[in-house]
Amino acid sequence: MTKPIRWGILGAAKFAREHMAPAIHAAKGAELAAIATSSPEKAAPFRAFAPGLKTHASYDALLADATIDAVYIPLPNHLHVEWTLKALAAGKHVLTEKPICLRADEIAKIIAARDASGLLAAEAYMIVHHPQWHRARELVQSGAIGSLTHVDGVFSYDNRSDPGNIRNKADTGGGGIYDIGVYTYGSARFVTGAEPESLSCVMRQENGVDVWAQVTGLMAGPLGRYTYSAITSMRLHNRQEMTFHGDKGVIRLTAPFNPNVFAEAQLELRQGMSVTTERWPGVNHYVLQVENFGDSIRGGTPYACPLEFTYGTAAMIDMAFANASVISLA
């Protein structure tokens, strides 16, 4: 029997408690073995489903634990690069929450550390582990919708009632683009293989972070050139959707980023008067992410979201900020 990969988590973040820790616990070939938190009370909900969980009082103590093979890092955004590098230096494989960095050029240091260590380091970009995205890529790249002309997306939620949330704070790397732009930008890149040729952005800010932003641009890649538009917001009603529009059809993903939470994962394909819908009820992309990460560690299976892919999305985010105009919607 293959020995399970023993995971540790740096910090008792709400997202880790609700999604990634249960996913690690449920994944084949993985064991949730340790958490680093100075608060036993914060560790208690994790221990409720993983009774043998070891608690370390500091992040450094967990990284020094020789029984831990891999770490998951759900810390605030501005700490991601620092602790990813520390985890690699400690000899751990590392899966870091998105965005793994706040500037694309920071990824070079992580790639260098990854290559020098021979370990796996990746951003926790879970959506590319969901079959709906592989199906979308297959359909678009096989010509099911003809010549791709336009891609648009939206991802929004409203957290104005929680001003203390790290997403609402500039000093922790907050803002809607860092939090959810990685999905609207990166998913288009994943499906089409294209990169931005030009990009403009308008945004509204509060307390130094973008709370609404729209990017528009021209993408170019192996499928040719297409126009692109995406809206991200932390001040609008919950909505998410991605659409790929060709001259012979349209693909629409109705729960592209939070399937099972927002709605059931569905892919709608329109060709002429024909509409077909594919569904993936109950698929947990967090579990698949952990299992695929483990497969890459054990057997060298190519990882769906290597750091080189992550660099492209980070560069697109950099471009959005560099070309942004701040406006008022009042």
What are the domain boundaries of the chain?
Answer: 5-124, 128-286+313-326
Kindly provide the residue ranges of all beta strands, DSSP E only, lying in 140-291, ordered along the sequence.
148-158, 195-206, 209-221, 224-233, 235-246, 250-253, 265-271, 274-280
Residues 6+ apart with CB under 8 A from 271: 144, 145, 248, 249
Six token digits for residue 143: 């010509």
The token pair at 65 is 């634990």
Angle at 305 between CA 314 and CA 1, to 5 degrees: 150
CATH classification of 5-124, choosing from 3.40.50.920, 3.20.20.210, 3.40.50.2000, 3.40.50.720?
3.40.50.720
Largest CA distance in the chain: 62
- Spatial distance between the Cα atoms of 302 and 4, rounded to a whole number of angstroms: 19
Give the Å distances, CA to CA, from 308 to 22, 265, 286, 305.
Answer: 28, 27, 21, 8
Buried residues in 240-267 as b, exposed as e (16+ CB within 10 A): bbbbbbbeebebbbbbbbbbeebeebbb
CA torsion 31→32→34→35, rounded to 10°?
160
Q: What are phi and psi of 156, to 5 degrees?
A: -145, 155
d(CA 207, CA 329): 15
Q: Name the helix (H) or strand (E) containing 97.
A: strand 93-97
Give me the phi and psi of 268, to 5 degrees please.
-105, 125
What does the pLDDT profile of the chain (330 residues) look like in tens digits? 579 999 999 999 999 999 999 999 999 999 999 999 999 899 999 999 999 999 999 999 999 999 999 999 999 999 999 999 999 999 999 999 999 999 999 999 999 999 999 999 999 999 999 999 999 999 999 999 999 999 999 999 999 999 999 999 999 999 999 999 999 999 999 999 999 999 999 999 999 999 999 999 999 999 999 999 999 999 999 999 999 999 999 999 999 999 999 999 999 999 999 999 999 999 999 999 999 999 999 988 999 999 999 999 999 999 999 999 998 865
Separation of CA 96 from chain center: 9
Task: State how far the Cα of 135 lies from the Cα of 283, in Å rounded to an integer.
Answer: 14
Give, in order, the Cα–Cα distances in Å from 175 to each of 33, 89, 137, 183, 317.
Answer: 32, 30, 28, 14, 12
Order of strands, sheet of 54-56, starting from the edge strand that comes earlier in the sequence: 54-56, 30-36, 5-10, 70-73, 93-97, 121-124
Phi and psi, residue 85, nearest 5°: -65, -40
What are the residues facing 124 on neighbouring strands? Answer: 97
CATH topology of domain 128-286+313-326: Dihydrodipicolinate Reductase; domain 2 (3.30.360)
What is the token pair recorded at 269? 């394909």
